[in-house]
């Protein structure tokens, strides 16, 4: 229960695979060797997986306020999904402020490019990739899911399809503008200056990278978790994202509030984190199997629930 590097016996881990080409690696050298090593991913797949029957892919982007964190974090969710047959990819990216945003988003799209081109060799299905993340990784994952094929974030691989089929968020940052002043500090000022390296607070830039403002009528399905005792990222910000999503698109969104959940409740093994992993598995299987956004047996949160309060 407490082994942070536990990998199930029936799962093999392929570690530290570079997802960039030679030119991209060379360009990244200006940030130093440590940042180059961030351009890697790990793959978790069952040892008995058959390449003749490709399995759906789950790509996870770690959190850490864009400035810390690692793909090797323990996350029971990653291990569970691999154990039940998903091919799981855990992604690193270059960190701020050494490398300024939106490099983190671009790196994630580069990782997705690599997955689409190579995951079949590990038994994965490149036609079905779900992306997920927590904290700042959730912001990156959501923006990636909501900006498919946006050329300005795909320099050098503009013609690669960077769409995904679904997105899972855990205590994610979905609003960098914070018009309702939910944060304890000025998140737009922090993001603009420290993370993106802009001289002044740039509200327009923050909007461009806030999932709340990127929802479209054809957005992919979302599953959103948030601990109601999260003291770092406002719980109500996820409620606002869910309500806005329901207004703008017919795609499925499920919101699962976690009673008593703090900011990193999902990081270590516990009954709560393991049941959450099972719930993610069930929802993803529904999206994968049904291939549509209709309401279904896994719709734990009914349409009648109002999270505006």
- List pLDDT tens digits, range 193-247: 999 999 999 999 999 999 999 999 999 999 999 999 999 999 999 999 999 999 9
pLDDT value at residue 307:
39
- List pLDDT tens digits, range 250-259: 999 999 999 9
Alpha carbon separation from 158 to 13, 221, 259 (Å, rounded): 30, 24, 42
Q: Write down the mean pLDDT value for the chain.
A: 91
**Angstrom distance (rounded) from CA 1 to CA 25:** 37
Give the list of residues 6+ apart from residue 306 with CB closer than 8 angstroms, or none: none
- List pLDDT tens digits, range 229-240: 999 999 999 999
Alpha carbon separation from 159 to 90, 113, 191, 226, 261 (Å, rounded): 24, 10, 29, 35, 41
Over residues 56-78, the mean pLDDT reads 94
Query: What superfamily in CATH does domain 11-174+221-244+252-289 come from?
Result: Alpha/Beta hydrolase fold, catalytic domain (3.40.50.1820)
Residue 44 forms beta bridges with which residues? 13, 88
**Angstrom distance (rounded) from CA 290 to CA 119:** 22
CB 28 within 8 A of CB 20: yes
pLDDT value at residue 68:
95
pLDDT value at residue 295:
40
**Angstrom distance (rounded) from CA 240 to CA 3:** 36
Token pair recorded at residue 86: 């998903």
Over residues 18-34, the mean pLDDT reads 88
Query: Nearest-CA neighbor of 58 among 277, 269, 293, 295?
Result: 277
Query: Nearest-CA neighbor of 263 among 223, 236, 226, 237?
Result: 226
pTM of the model: 0.92
State percent of the chain over pLDDT 90. 82
- List pLDDT tens digits, range 166-194: 999 999 999 999 999 999 999 999 999 99
Query: Nearest-CA neighbor of 58 among 80, 39, 37?
Result: 80
Element (H, E) at 258: strand 253-258
Q: Does 293 score more than 90 pLDDT?
A: no
Handedness of CA 231, 246, 163, 176 (dihedral sign): negative
pLDDT value at residue 200:
96
């Amino acid at each position: 229960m407490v082994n942070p590097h536990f990998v199930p016996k029936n799962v093999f881990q392929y570690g530290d695979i570079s997802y960039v080409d030679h030119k991209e690696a060379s360009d990244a050298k200006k940030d130093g060797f440590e940042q180059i090593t961030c351009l890697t991913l790990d793959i978790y797949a069952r040892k008995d997986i058959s390449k003749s029957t490709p399995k759906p892919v789950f790509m996870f982007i770690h959190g850490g306020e864009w400035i810390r964190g690692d793909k090797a974090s323990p996350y029971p969710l990653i291990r569970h999904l691999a154990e039940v047959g998903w091919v799981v990819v855990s992604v690193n990216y270059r960190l701020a402020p050494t490398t300024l945003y939106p490099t983190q988003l671009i790196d994630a799209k580069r990782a997705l490019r690599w997955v689409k081109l190579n995951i079949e060799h590990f038994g994965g299905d490149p036609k079905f990739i779900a992306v997920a993340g927590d904290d700042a990784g959730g912001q990156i994952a959501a923006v990636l899911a909501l900006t498919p094929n946006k050329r300005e974030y795909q320099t050098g691989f503009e013609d690669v399809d960077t769409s995904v089929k679904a997105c899972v968020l855990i205590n994610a940052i979905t609003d960098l503008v914070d018009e309702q002043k939910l944060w304890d500090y000025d998140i737009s000022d922090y993001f603009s200056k420290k993370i993106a390296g802009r001289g002044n607070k740039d509200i327009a830039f923050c909007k461009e990278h806030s999932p709340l403002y990127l929802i479209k009528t054809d957005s992919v399905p979302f599953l959103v978790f948030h601990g109601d005792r999260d003291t770092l990222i406002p719980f109500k910000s996820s409620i606002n994202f869910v309500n806005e999503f329901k207004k703008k698109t017919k795609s499925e969104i499920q919101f699962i509030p976690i009673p008593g959940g703090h900011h990193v409740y999902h990081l270590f093994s516990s009954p709560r984190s393991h049941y959450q992993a099972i719930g993610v598995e069930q929802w993803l299987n529904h999206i994968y199997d049904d291939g549509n956004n209709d309401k279904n047996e896994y719709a734990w949160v009914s349409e009648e629930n109002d999270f505006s309060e």
